[in-house]
Amino acid sequence: MDVILNQIFAGLSMASILLMIALGLAIIYGAMGVINLAHGEFVMLGAYAAWALQTYAGFSIIVALPFVFLAVASVGWIIERVIVQRLYHRPLDTILATWGIGIVLQQLVRLFVGAESRFVKGPEILSGNIEIGGLIMSNYRIFVIVFSLAILAASWALMTRTEFGMKLRAVIQNRQISECYGIEAKHIYSITFAYGAGLAGIAGALITPLFSTIPTMGTGLVVDAFLVVIVGGLGSLLGAATASVLIGEATALFSMLLNDTLGRIAVLAGIIVLIRFRPKGLFPSNTRR
Amino acid sequence: MAQLQVTDLHVDFGGLRAVDGLSFNVNEGEILCLLGPNGAGKSTTLDLICGKTQPTSGSIRFEGTDISQLLEFRRARLGIGRKFQVPSVYKELTVAENLSVARSRSPGIWHALTRFSLSDGRVAAPILERVGLEARASEIAGNLSHGETQWLEIAMLIAQDSRLILMDEPTAGMTIQETARTAEIFRSLSTSHTLIVVEHDMSFVRTVADRIVVMNRGAMLAEGTIEEIETNDDVKTAYLGH
Amino acid sequence: MKRRDFLRGVGAVGTASALSAPAFLTTVSRAAAQGTDIPVGLLFSLTGAVAVVESTLHDAALMAIEEINAAGGVHGRQLRPIIEDPASDPATYADRARRLMIRDKCVSVFGSYTSASRQAVLPVTEQRKNLYWYPTLYEGRECSLNVMYGGAVPNQQQDELIPWAIENFGPRFYMIGNNYVYPKEENNYCKTLLEKHGGEVVHEEYVPLGHSDFSSVINRIRAEEPDVIFATVVGDSDVAFARQYHAAELDPAKMPVISLTRSEVEVKAIGGEAAAGHFSSAPYFMGTQTPENERFVESYKSRYGADQVTHFVSEAAYFQVYQFKAALEKLDPANITPETIRDAAVGLTLNAPQGEVLIDENLHTHLWPKIGQWQANGQAEVMLESQNRVAPLPYAAYEGQRCTGEGLVQG
Amino acid sequence: MTTKLFYDLFALAVFAVVIVVGVPFLMGFDGFELNTFARYLALGIVSLALALSWGSAGLLNLGQAATFGMGSYAMAMHLKLKASGDALPDFMGWNNVPELPLIWIPFHSLGFTLLAGLLVPAFVGGLIAMFMFRARIAGVFVAIITLAFLVAFQLVVIEQQGITGGQNGLTGLAPLSLLGWSVDTYDVSFYYLVAGCLMAAITVGLYLTHSKFGLILRAIREDADRTRFFGYNVANYQTVIFCISAALAGWAGMLYTLVLEFASPTYMSVSFSLAIVIWCAVGGRDSVIAAAIGAIIVNLLEGRLSDVFVEGWNLMLGVIFVLVVMFIPRGLHGLIGDLWKALNNQSHKQRANEAEPKLQPQPVKSGQEK
């Protein structure tokens, strides 16, 4: 019984990390239809930003979060302005271009920071565990779960409750008409891309105490995050959240029953079947196309 | 027996009844015009016949076979062709290639694998001549003007040589001369083909229609020759909203 | 900050001429017009996932080469390092190894960390009868006549470790490793030792290379309550494992992780606090107290930065270059070929940072196994040091097979 | 004969001359240099295979590496059995596999191996294709499903160590003997074997793109729905091109194993699969020859750059990819096409300018047709 409870918590914890990474991707994909393969590298940049702030300025991760967000968001903004913006009418080409961008970012970090694995210290206040009977939950993981929900709520509010969100939705539905009403679609896109990148940065900073910070850390993450987005449904935040939980829990369950490798294979197979029968995802948006 | 029999057709789009109990027949060699106000379900009816949309209930029989559950390519193989409202030619292919795709007597893979792409050039030439595009055979279709694109699509329908052709607003955006020429082609087509035409241009309808079906809110409102329709009170009410 | 030049051209061929049209098609030999230099290849990944470790091996080997050159070279000839970056990809290893061995006519190539990359390099090495100096601990069961193995094989790492662990912590072992041949083979050998010394395996599991979420593994460990976590997790997987193990507040005093792969590099990324209290078995730790090691650590730090660490693979990458040099010195300068170097190297002793090492006739190395406990400062305190130099038995787990100077012998 | 077919045949002829005569001559018939080049040629085949599904039919298959890997492993299994003689392949011993698994047994036969290297990828590609295309999955979703399949497949290969050799792959292979000829990978004849295969693959590709089949695929790429209304079974067309593309990838994989003398699960990695896409994009996905040339050029460039800039070559490749995608989306093939057109117009204009003043003094419309 305890094993199952602990495993459910492990699944939730994985889900929260997946969600943190996938959220920015979901927003970018939903708004612009861009498959951003450089997203993993945004996560990596966030981790390195957290490392730099901690090593050179002595910031704890939590204090560093807003700065990390701004730093990675501005990198995202520049990339959108210089490269991605030119490719909106060629969605398959964005896959290639953003992959190239990913290589470039990875190599730049390697050249200027080094190939070795970097150490980032977790926040003191969040060390330790909460124990409820046989259920043992790491405080830091609880924090990440809560934080990811907060980010989800904030993003949702931004998309539905603000003027910016209203404009964005207008642009998503019909760019030409929105522009006729004086909404600058280009501008909206840049900000959205930057926001998505910033979220990835936060995700990167938050996972540093759990994972290892190296230039290639983002490569593996992006595929998983993408599957979350597709399973969730085009640009649906709720869908991304549900898909994260589903995939996180399924991974936890299968890895308990089988092992981590077979668990991952089973989850991938499940995702393939799901996409086949629900290509629009769990929560298809009914506003677009 | 009628070539096409539509019986008690219904289709729902998430609660909206786009077609609601529609029945009509079309005879071989006839030109039938579908009329009706916007949203009456005319295009949806064509979609249902060609298989783009699946009916909720009801049946469609073509030459005696029930086709209402068949996939669209199977219906096309049985002899149903379709022209869409928005001209849909292959803009990245040349005019001749468009015709070659359209000429689909043998749509199987083996046939396609053993032919060069423009092997039906000899068949294509007279058709192009008929629509006045013979000089542009090797032009990329994307470079054609709007009118030429319409002609190309008509040429493609001729090349496809379906026994039943469904046309959605074939004259939209055409000049008066072009419309007249289209009407002429339609009349000549109807000797060997059946046509169902959705059209708003009443003068065009007057020239080509053998029979007219007027639709309103997804159901048939009236049916008959042009004279009968023009004097029908229900039709007037529906159009003028009295 | 980064210490290497960004766009460093290598070799005598200038950038412009190398990229000019005719030269573009044919890969111009960099060995041309080099007079009396001795070309040696360095084949360590500087990019990609394995670069985390291999770049340190590269640094150590290059440092040794430059030290030798600064001291006048061998027979008055300089060693000329030819550097390739195989980018952590086995196919690229094979391709670059061909370049070094065939085109550049290197008499020896130093390289690589993973088993997969070694095996990618093997076909061309054996076909060209070249010599490949491989500094990494590995799973054994290989007996190539063209590879100089500088790292430990299972018997060198485990023979003293396992009885010691059973005695100090208990007999119940939980095996966790990455899913490839090295962990499986180490575990196979471990099981024979456990049987001999009265231990048992409570669970054995493998995670994919690069796996980073160990929540399920940790839950299982918590449920099984083993005495020892016997870990063969490598690279960033190990970093993630150690950090999450620490975050889960599992006590190293009750359930220590005893690793065959965790070195100073990983510990630096794990953080001393999370690594503290756990153990590694290795022939070398950075704190080893020999004059050779003091020199090695000092010059490594002054060259690459005070925050850099040395570890048991970079140490081997370093001393293997000196073994190479010693072998060259025994040779007639007119007769330097990979095979004569190999023959001259057999039986050589050398004062390495870990102590005096010897090259066995099976081309593996006699080493000084140690067990170290990690401290909060990122260094290991040696708990147990082997009294004797331990001979390499790459087929220790397999009765009736022995690796000798003539290759594998059955029965 | 259409001008496009003429143009392609001409390009094939030039390419053949360069590959068969030019390259070996420039490299002085040196076995090592040609061995390196043979690797590029093998990769050219897999790039070409992708051009068939991506360029012709618009199906971006990010799982191309999986079918490539199948071919590569088929060949490696045969050569491993040959190297092991009567004994069990060594890695099976490490994994405590007691006897030769059933699936390995038929690979004793070279004929079976060659067939399997083509048909197994084709079969698996066909299954995935049917699975997707029956449900009318298109565009980005094809890319995602094939990508997920690739990741899962690679995991399976790594997991099944007893059968596949796991992470290390299959190493320690014997040389291939083909009809009594023992293939030496450092011999010029081996280069010609691979070059011959590439030429054959290009011929197949050219035939397909110029057949009516290729035309229908292009029609499907542009508007699959419209094509259905002409009576074409779109799913079948897509499935067949997927099979052919997978078979060619498998073929390339077999050659790749011969060149490198081992098979590794990294041949089935996401980054390798994306690299194939990049080669194809650089060369130009609209033309099979261009796609093959793209693979050769990128790999040549990679080899060259990594020689000169040990530290920066990966970075430069990344920058080049981004630039290519941004500024020459249709690859070198498109670029050359555009240049050709521009040159044609230019010379038209010039001819008009030179010729016309003599005939007619007044200015006339020059050759600026749209």
In this structure, are C144 and C246 located in the same domain?
no
Quick: pLDDT tens for C278-334.
Answer: 999 999 999 999 999 999 999 999 999 998 999 999 999 999 999 999 999 999 888
d(CA B150, CA B87): 6
C107 in contact with chain A, both atoms CB, cutoff 8 A: no
Residue C122 has pLDDT above 60, yes or no: yes
How far is the CA of A26 from the CAs of A18, A43, A195, in angstroms?
12, 14, 11
Structure tokens at A191: 């900000």
In this structure, are C230 and C343 located in the same domain?
no
Domain ranges for chain A, please list them.
Answer: 20-213
Mutate to test the interface with A, among D54, D134, D149, D326 (most CBs of A within 10 A): D326
Residue B209 has pLDDT above 70, yes or no: yes
More confident residue, D68 or B184: D68
**Concatenated DSSP letters for A28-63?**
HHHHH----TTHHHHHHHHHHHHHHHHHHH---HHH
Q: Report pLDDT for B240.
A: 60
In this structure, are C186 and C83 located in the same domain?
no
Residue D185 has φ and ψ, to the nearest 5°, of -70, -15
Q: Report pLDDT for B241.
A: 57
Q: Verify whether the Cβ–Cβ distance A127 to C247 is below 8 Å.
A: yes
Q: Verify whether the Cβ–Cβ distance A102 to D155 is below 8 Å.
A: no
Selection from B158, A279, B134 nearest residue D140 by Cα:
A279
- Contact predicate C278/C373, CB 8 Å: yes
Q: What is the CATH number of the domain that holds B175?
A: 3.40.50.300
Residue of C nearest to A217 (CA): C49
Q: Report pLDDT for C22.
A: 45
Q: In which domain, by residue range, is B27 found?
A: 4-79+162-240
Quick: pLDDT tens for B103-162.
Answer: 888 888 888 888 887 766 667 788 888 888 888 888 889 898 888 888 888 889 888 888
d(CA B106, CA B110): 9
Among A81-90, C194-203, D24-33, where is mean pLDDT lowest?
D24-33
Residue of C nearest to A140 (CA): C247
Residue C258 has pLDDT above 90, yes or no: yes
Residue C64 has pLDDT above 70, yes or no: yes
- Arithmetic mean of pLDDT, A219-238: 85
Q: Report pLDDT for D34.
A: 87
In this structure, are C244 and C384 located in the same domain?
yes
Q: Report pLDDT for D334.
A: 86
d(CA C179, CA C174): 15
- The answer to whether residue C8 is domain-embedded is no
What radius of gyration, in Å, describes the C-alpha atoms of chain B?
18
**Arithmetic mean of pLDDT over chain A:** 88
Percent of chain C scored above 70 by pLDDT?
A: 91
- Arithmetic mean of pLDDT, C216-244: 91
In this structure, are C19 and C68 located in the same domain?
yes
More confident residue, D152 or A131: D152
Residue A122 has φ and ψ, to the nearest 5°, of -75, 160
In this structure, are C191 and C223 located in the same domain?
yes
d(CA D89, CA D104): 10
Instruction: Tell me the ipTM for this assembly.
Output: 0.89
Q: In which domain, by residue range, is C111 found?
A: 15-152+289-366
d(CA D90, CA C402): 15
Of C2, C52, C208, the CB nearest to A261: C208
d(CA C58, CA C41): 11
d(CA C230, CA C186): 10
A217 in contact with chain C, both atoms CB, cutoff 8 A: yes
Residues of D with CB under 8 A from a CB of B: 2, 208, 210-216, 218-219, 222-223, 225-234, 236-237, 240, 370
Q: Report pLDDT for D271.
A: 87
Q: Report pLDDT for D2.
A: 66
Measured in angstroms, the CA of D211 and the nearest CA of chain B are apart by 4
Residue D203 has pLDDT above 90, yes or no: yes
Structure tokens at B121: 């050039």
CB contacts of C49 in chain D (<8 Å) are: none
d(CA C342, CA C338): 6
Q: What is the CATH number of the domain that holds C77?
A: 3.40.50.2300
In this structure, are C20 and C114 located in the same domain?
yes
Question: Which chains would you list as touching D if contact means 3+ CB atom pairs under 8 Å?
Answer: A, B, C
Among A136-145, C151-160, D129-138, D174-183, where is mean pLDDT lowest?
D174-183
Q: Where are the alpha helices (DSSP H) in C71-114?
A: 90-98
Task: Quickly state the pLDDT bin for D350 (edges 50, 70, 90).
Answer: low
C102 in contact with chain D, both atoms CB, cutoff 8 A: yes
- The answer to whether residue C243 is domain-embedded is yes
Task: Quickly state the pLDDT bin for B180 (edges 50, 70, 90).
Answer: confident
Residue C101 has φ and ψ, to the nearest 5°, of -85, -35
The number of distinct structural domains making up chain C is: 2
Residue D60 has φ and ψ, to the nearest 5°, of -80, 105
What are residue C356's DSSP bridge partners?
C351
Selection from C286, C220, C206 nearest residue C248 by Cα:
C220
List, as ranges, residues 126-155 from A with C-beta within 8 Å of C.
Answer: 127-129, 136, 138, 140-141
Of D234, D240, D370, the CB nearest to B73: D234
Quick: pLDDT tens for C95-113.
Answer: 899 989 988 899 999 999 9
- Contact predicate D210/D203, CB 8 Å: no
Percent of chain D scored above 70 by pLDDT?
A: 93
Percent of chain D scored above 90 by pLDDT?
A: 49
Q: What is the count of residue pairs from C and D with beta carbons less than 8 Å apart?
A: 136
Indicate the DSSP class of residue B167.
Answer: E
Quickly count: other Cβ atoms within 10 Å of residue C326's Cβ: 17
Structure tokens at C340: 């004569």
Largest CA distance in chain C: 68
- The answer to whether residue B154 is domain-embedded is no
- Arithmetic mean of pLDDT, A140-169: 90
Of C5, C18, C181, the CB nearest to D308: C18
In this structure, are C241 and C334 located in the same domain?
no
Structure tokens at D228: 């259905």
- Arithmetic mean of pLDDT, D82-100: 83
Measured in angstroms, the CA of A276 and the nearest CA of chain D are apart by 6
d(CA C130, CA C142): 17
The number of distinct structural domains making up chain B is: 1
In this structure, are C147 and C159 located in the same domain?
no
